[in-house]
Structure 1
Amino acid sequence: MKNMISRRYQETEKTAMGEVFDFLEKYDDIINLSIGDPDLVTDSGVIDKMAEDAKAGHTKYTDYRGYPELRAEIAKFYKEEYAVEIEDSEIFVSTGGCVSMYLVMEAILDDGDEVIIPDPYFAPYPSQVKLARGKAVMLSTYEEEGFQINIERLEKLVTDRTKAIILNTPNNPTGACLSLETMNKIADFCEKHDILVVADDIYTAFSFDTEFVPIMKIGSMRKRTITINSFSKNFVMTGFRVANIIGPEEVIQAIQKINENVVFTTPSISQRAALHALKMRHEIQPAIVEEFKSRVQYCKKRIEGINNMSVLDGGGSFYVFPNIKSTGLSSKEVTRLIMQEAHVLVLPGNAFGECGEGYIRISCTVGIEKLSEAFDRIEKMNMFV
């Protein structure tokens, strides 16, 4: 009998994120700081209005690009928040950030086209490029440079097949935010080489130290930027699986054609929830942002008091990315010891690329009381005493 599995998936290993649920079954007192799924519940007002809409009949297929009312609200959001005018034809409502990235890659890449990915990176990026028959090219970034993108190193990666670079700021996993100076240099670089930017703007509300500026607003980047913006993190709506893509009209048209063969349309009730979340953002988002800011600050303060562990100051997102190189152990070894001895589940930095080796990622997705308990356990471990 022929092998039922495609060759490209026959030798794939389980990812660090994929192993999380296996570990959760090992102990009944695990504190899970691994996956970026917050403990906060979506605002009850959003849920109530979504339920009302469902009862009123919003339970069917929607327009291929999403509800017109939601697209209008997304355009209004970009105008009010960033003074960027977005045309309706440039908006696509999608089924979560990961599907959005796949749709973008499928729409823009020919076989063998190259996409530059700053390393450390959100773990699915290389596979999303590969699924679209592209080639992922890694750009090293380093803590001593604030995990900023070094333009000289970037220049060395350019070939005649370079199609795009993925930018994620605030960054998952490092928490670093690209400076305006860095983004201006990237804009010049992209203009010089005629390269697209795919902006994975997932944590925009959590840029704690500086105001978030979308790269589409810089110079001539509007015409060469495709932006993904999810409701999962900014509105703690991970389970709703709803996001949006902003890009040139021809890209949006291609994405629509592809998506008709993937999920057809984004779930109607999720779109209604997104619509109400955007309308209510000034009421509900400040408390969410303040909560995660407090958690991140607490984690960094605790890390300062632990031997063989340090962390970059400033930044955003709701992750911290402690440096554990002084332990003399690998990221995976440290992660396993923390799980076995402290019963705290974190992710190894090398799950996010080669430049993540020597780090672990901690998700601040539980309250400070639980974070306190987790760090109390960790700091008693021999390698951190």
Structure 2
Amino acid sequence: MRYSSFTQRIGGEGARAWEIHHRAVQAKRRGEDVIILSIGDPDFDTPASIKQAAVAALDAGDTHYTDILGFPALREAIAAYHRRMSGQDVTAENVAAVSGAQGGLFVSSMLVLDRGDDVVVPEPMYLTYEATFRAAGANLIRVPMRPENEFHLLPADLEQALTPNTKAIVFATPGNPTGAMFARDVLEAMAKLAIERDLWVIADEVYAALSFGKPHVSIGGLPGMGERTVTINSLSKSHAMTGWRIGWIVAPKELIEFAHDLGLSTQYGLPGFIQRAAIRALAEPVPEVDQMRDAYRRRRDAAVTTLNQVPGLKVHVPEAGMFMMLDVRGTGLSAFDYALRLFEQTGVAILDATPFGRSAEGHCRVSFVVDEKSLTEACRRIASFTNSLS
């Protein structure tokens, strides 16, 4: 049978990155002694008050069709949250609720990009970016963020990557897989380029609430950027709600109107009880959010302290999030071989970061979404394995 060309555009090259992770998941299901540090799924449960809001909504019969862009109360709550995070003056009319940040990326690409457009993306970048923007027919132009610069973007590299066909700049801050955050002066330089060349900016801010002290700056809040910025966010990481699939985009009103039209033929609105839970998460303080962020910071510090003492390894200290980049070039192994042998010999699963971008070659992504005891044991095994290579 013949399939559409669309099926070829949504493949991408990132599938190999998950090979070791999938093996680890299967081994864990068999009861084997494995520690999975290869995925960004929080080990924390969704805070009880948020779950209770969903249960109450279900008990009240909230099981019917909903507003395609989200309940008005949810859109208001998201707008208020975004104003607090960014300083950008937005209202509910600038908001569309979507099925997670990944849904937001897909919606944004469909509404902003056309076949033949160039989209400039700093890398290392999240694995789904390639397939998501190729789905719209766009070409990815990669901008290196080099390990010697702690995976921070240099504005000169960004400007050099722009082409006459560039339609948009896409980036994540804080970043995945690096945990690096874009400084204000970098975002101001990016904003200047976007305004001068009439470009869209798609900003993935999923990890913004998990900063370890460095101020998060939202490019949509900079002068002249509200009219050309799509900001993507979700509750998946900040509130340990990965399985709820609730996210949003904040964008100019006209783009949100187009998101409504797209929503008519795709998800046709999110479940009401999930929206009620999201309202609870955003409208009132949730103490567990700060507690989770503090736990991630403690885990980061402990892992960095241990692994940076191991000859052959170097940790790039993340400024936010739940991942860190581990430079394994000093071991003499490729990142994939290092990760594969580590798993086969110790049961610890980490990701070869090379599929995130060429700048990540020789690095592995290590998550710290396990409890402190398990993370300590995982680091002990990583150190023991690395020392055995000498």
Please tell me the TM-score bracket, short chain as reference: over 0.9
Matched, 1:130 2:134: yes
> Partner of 2:165 in structure 1?
161
CA deviation vs aligned residue, 1:156-212 (integer Å, no higher than 9, x gap): 221221011112111100111111121111111211221111010000111113121
Shift of 1:380: 1.0
Q: State the identity as a percent.
A: 28
State the secondary structure of the residue aligned to 1:64.
Answer: coil
Shift of 1:366: 0.3
**Aligned-partner Cα distance in 1 for 2:4–2:194:** 39
The 5-angstrom pairing of residues 95-110 of structure 1 reads 95-110=99-114
Shift of 1:80: 3.4
Matched, 1:8 2:11: no
> Partner of 1:188 in structure 2?
192
The 5-angstrom pairing of residues 1-385 of structure 1 reads 2-3=1-2, 8=8, 14-17=15-18, 20-26=21-27, 28-381=32-385, 382=387
Call closer, same or farther: CA 1:18–1:106 in 2, change over 3 Å.
farther
**Aligned-partner Cα distance in 1 for 2:190–2:116:** 23
Shift of 1:313: 3.1
After superposing the two structures, state which structure 1 stretch, 144-153 or 203-212, moved more: 144-153
Shift of 1:383: 5.0
Q: Which AA in structure 2 matches 1:95?
A: S
CA deviation vs aligned residue, 1:66-111 (integer Å, no higher than 9, x gap): 0111111112222334433212211000001111101100011111
Shift of 1:12: 6.5
Q: How many residues align?
A: 384
CA deviation vs aligned residue, 1:18-65 (integer Å, no higher than 9, x gap): 652233224611100111001100001110121001111221121111
TM-score by length of 2: 0.94
TM-score by length of 1: 0.95
Give the conservation status (yes or no) of the 8 Å contact 1:17–1:35. no
Call closer, same or farther: CA 1:15–1:66 in 2, change over 3 Å.
farther
**Aligned-partner Cα distance in 2 for 1:200–1:94:** 14
Give the conservation status (yes or no) of the 8 Å contact 1:198–1:227. yes
**Aligned-partner Cα distance in 2 for 1:269–1:168:** 29
**Aligned-partner Cα distance in 2 for 1:144–1:224:** 32
Give the conservation status (yes or no) of the 8 Å contact 2:9–2:131. no
Q: Which AA in structure 2 matches 1:16?
A: A
**Aligned-partner Cα distance in 2 for 1:120–1:383:** 29
Which runs of 5 or more structure 2 residues have no equivalent in the other structure?
Answer: none
Which runs of 5 or more structure 1 residues have no equivalent in the other structure?
Answer: none
Shift of 1:17: 2.6
Q: Which AA in structure 1 matches 2:154?
A: N
CA deviation vs aligned residue, 1:242-300 (integer Å, no higher than 9, x gap): 00100011111112211221211122222111111112334332111111111111111
CA deviation vs aligned residue, 1:319-360 (integer Å, no higher than 9, x gap): 010111111211111110111111101100112111111100
State the secondary structure of the residue aligned to 1:281.
Answer: coil
